[in-house]
Amino acid sequence: MRTIAIIPAGGKGIRGGIAAPKQYLKFNGKELIVYTLDIFQQNEMIDEIIISAEGNYINLLNDLKEKYNLSKISKVVEGGNTRQYSVYNALKSLTAAADNELVAVHDAARPLLPQEVLIDAVQTAKQKGNALVCIKAKDTLITGNEVVESYLDRDEVYYVQTPQIFPHSILMKAMKNAYENNFVGTDESMLVRQIGEKVNIVEGSVYNFKVTTADDIKMFERLISTSS
């Protein structure tokens, strides 16, 4: 059973307060997205990588593929107006994919995904049908707007991460259903749940955070400088 990684890379980085999309910012001379792609390049359980990106960055990504020998990248396709449609475009490009092949969707701006988390997620998807990487909430959780309204039971709350791994046929069915019903979800698991599928939780990692804000950028810089 093959596993294909889809990396949606169309974000504009607005929340980070920066002019360029954060996935193309350089750290130690290397674009952030390269750190992400290299995780999947080095993992033996990943057979192929497809990137969906804004048209202006397709040539750059093809150059990065050659520069960093990211040989598993089979194609770079143009993304859509939202993350969901960017993933859908990449999925539709898999015209010859078998129904049972696994598709692992991972955010371009999660560059520190531990290999053991990726391996566990792929193995779980192969054994149970799918996998959703999450971390259990540790802090006190509240609802409210300016004042506290109520408290949530953190034992039943998780922070959703990526990768999110589903069989090609299931993810395609979920995407088509969302498109036909004009439904936009925040991630793939939400779309898959919309068609009645059970989604399996896999333990993630605090290192697998999404580089979104200026503070996230500073944290990533510190972490890679410590490990180098």
Cβ(158)–Cβ(135) below 8 Å: yes
Cα–Cα distance measured from residue 55 to residue 10, given in angstroms and rounded to the nearest whole number? 9
CA distance 45 to 131: 14
Q: pLDDT per residue over 154-204, tens digit each?
A: 988 999 999 999 999 999 999 999 999 999 999 999 999 999 999 999 999
CB 108 within 8 Å of CB 175: no
* This prediction's pTM: 0.93
Distances (CA, A) of 211 to 93, 171, 223: 27, 25, 12
User: Which tens digit of pLDDT belongs to each residue from 65-83?
Assistant: 999 999 999 999 999 889 9
pLDDT of the residue at 14:
52
Q: What is the pLDDT of residue 1?
A: 86
Residues in Cβ contact with 220 at an 8 Å cutoff, skipping those fewer than 6 apart: 27, 32, 111, 112, 211
What's the average model confidence in pLDDT over 113-117?
Answer: 98
pLDDT digits (tens, 9 = 90+) for 135-158: 999 999 999 999 999 999 998 899
Average pLDDT over residues 95-105: 84
Query: pLDDT at position 18, please?
Result: 59
Rounded Cα–Cα distance for residues 28 and 35 (Å): 11
What structural domains and CATH numbers belong to the chain? 3-227 (3.90.550.10)
H/E element, 187: none
Beta bridge partners of 141: 152
pLDDT at residue number 228: 58
Residue pair 52/44 in contact by the 8 Å Cβ criterion: no
Q: Over the chain, what is the mean pLDDT?
A: 93
Confidence of residue 99 (pLDDT cuts 50, 70, 90): confident
